[in-house]
Amino acid sequence: MMKIGILLFEGVEELDAIGPYEVFAWAGVKREDFVTVFTVAQTTEPLRCNKGLRVLPDYSFETAPDLDVLLIPGGSGIMKQTSNEAILAYVREQAGRCAWVTSVCTGTWLLAATGLAAGKRVTTYWGLTGELRKLDSSMKVLDDVRFVRDGNMVTSAGVSAGIDMALWLIGEWADPAFARSVQKGIEYFPAPPYTALV
């Protein structure tokens, strides 16, 4: 069974974490021996997310099992985490073991801060691609993509793009038909109400 850990921290963007969580959890319900998903933080104390939602991490760094997949969300708290040695050490350690290392939105900043994104093709929130390029000129930061894969690293654009990335990952690990069944299960068929000019 593939173990997926979603990193949490103060100021994490809610949908960056919860969108992929929903996809992975739904896949785990449909195939019980396929994946399990949980949250990991420096401690198991309650955290306040970017928009105020309070969450309780499942595991601390010390108690979490080794991961097969690490997912790093973004949010207003990410910049503080880029100098948090405990979080950087945990990301480096798990990335060395993981089959997949992923990020949503500004979660890419942690991948840059650890050196894991050096020389890689990556993306982030559309309004911050220019800022990300300044962090490490060896990264090829892509604009106007929902997500990008480079080896075992997959980075996605902002907020809802993490759902697209998670569905693609399910298709890679199982097959596209199963990923489509998860997509149908969560009724993720975006049809924004403001797509036309009026």
Q: What is the pLDDT of residues 58-109, one digit of tens each?
A: 999 999 999 999 999 999 999 999 999 999 999 999 999 999 999 999 999 9
pLDDT mean across residues, the chain: 96
Neighbours of 89 (CB within 10 A): 12
Note the pTM of the prediction, 2 decimals: 0.96
Q: What is the pLDDT of residues 140-181, one digit of tens each?
A: 999 999 999 999 999 999 999 999 999 999 999 999 999 999
Look at residue 93 in the predicted model and tell me its pLDDT.
97
Look at residues 135, 153, 142 and name the one whose alpha carbon lies nearest to residue 91.
153
Q: Residue 106: inside a domain, yes or no? A: yes
105 is catalytic: yes
Q: What is the pLDDT of residues 9-46, one digit of tens each?
A: 999 999 999 999 999 999 999 998 999 999 999 999 99
Catalytic residue among 70, 105, 153, 163: 105
Q: Residue 49: inside a domain, yes or no? A: yes
Residues of the domain holding 118: 2-185
Asked if residue 193 has pLDDT above 90, the reply is no
Report the number of distinct structural domains present in the chain: 1
User: Are the beta carbons of 103 and 74 closer than 8 angstroms?
Assistant: yes
Q: Residue 193: inside a domain, yes or no? A: no
Q: Residue 192: inside a domain, yes or no? A: no
Q: Residue 103: inside a domain, yes or no? A: yes
- Spell 136-158 as b/e; 16+ CB within 10 A means b: beebebbeeeebbbeeebbbbbb
Q: Residue 79: inside a domain, yes or no? A: yes
Look at residues 44, 67, 47, 45 and name the one whose alpha carbon lies nearest to residue 55.
47
Q: Residue 83: inside a domain, yes or no? A: yes
Q: Residue 191: inside a domain, yes or no? A: no
CATH code of residue 50: 3.40.50.880
Report d(CA 80, CA 191) in Å as an integer: 35
Query: Tokens 């038909």 — which residue?
Result: 177
Higher pLDDT, 132 or 32: 132
SS3 82: coil
SS3 148: strand
186: confidence class by pLDDT, cuts 50, 70, 90:
very high
Q: What is the pLDDT of residues 82-96, one digit of tens each?
A: 999 999 999 999 999
197: confidence class by pLDDT, cuts 50, 70, 90:
low
Residues 6+ apart with CB under 8 A from 84: 9, 42
Asked if residue 198 has pLDDT above 60, the reply is no
